[in-house]
Structure 1
């Protein structure tokens, strides 16, 4: 069954029309021990009221920037039961969620909780607004990157192979963890670890920029982050 999709044509002036297409699919529960132990708790009345007020306020503010906001296919959204919305591609990570929440609230009177990076929730302004919309924080491995001991370089004959100097890959790293480069130049997922000074990436680093390629071929410091278990994200 194809994944549910919601598409939006964004606009930046009053003369532009904004259209939203809806398609939904009821989520199927996976019978695992974690799922069976989880008990859903309905949001408090206070949270529901704050959600409605914040959605109504921002939706009407954003409405000023578009000539018309019209939803299509909202009849496909179930009146009850779990639903997963996939909004892609979206032009603005702040405007589009509010438009979607407003349209869903108006059409079927349901609330939408969006996934948001856990690091964004820690930012004062974004975290404050996200709390009104009951956003669900997701920990991203790249947000947990910490400096590791030694330096690394890639094998000139095989860019997936990482060679370490004064490194301890066997104790400091694990398969499916992330190797990150300094200055946010990129990161790669570890596929296997052969020794303390050799490991293999699932995909090679993106080396389109000359400075990244130079650093990887000559040697650079690196960061590491362990794999994050996301199995409980949708429980929330």
Structure 2
């Protein structure tokens, strides 16, 4: 297909989860309750940690930002999903769609890597308790957190740029309830190979890094605990 046969779209249509009015009402109430619990729970967590000086430790530092990411992650697609369920308006602008996708990747990637940082923190606390204050310094904590956000933004920029270069012809119906990567790929009428490769590399590298870090940390923790148990039993 020649490039001149492509036409751009000004907006997209999100099909949502269902067309049943009864199901929409039930889902909207359920989503709203979950959203309110998420907002109140995470805001409460952040407020409590900020107000209590005894909680100003590396573990709670990471928990504060985990709550922030959970809150931000929910705000990316839940309000728009609720609007689609409660009204007949299912359209989202081209810019709005890619903005939603961008921040979805940012917060999702950052949260995944933050969990790895928290696993490393627990490893140091349990396996290297005497060196914990030195290793988990304020500088290292901020460096790990910055790395999580930087990787999130880099992945989001790569994903948004590669997908924004796609052509969507006259197709504008996204078979999903928010603008995710692969539903947009399925909608495109141009060659998606490059975008798919970028998506798989970014997702695979983040998943592999997180899996190795978390698995390695908790296996080391488990090994340390078992050694302590064996040592205690041998003394008895």
Q: Output the TM-score relative to the length of structure 1.
A: 0.21
More helix by share: 2
Higher RCO, Cα 8 Å, sep 6+: 2
More strand by share: 1
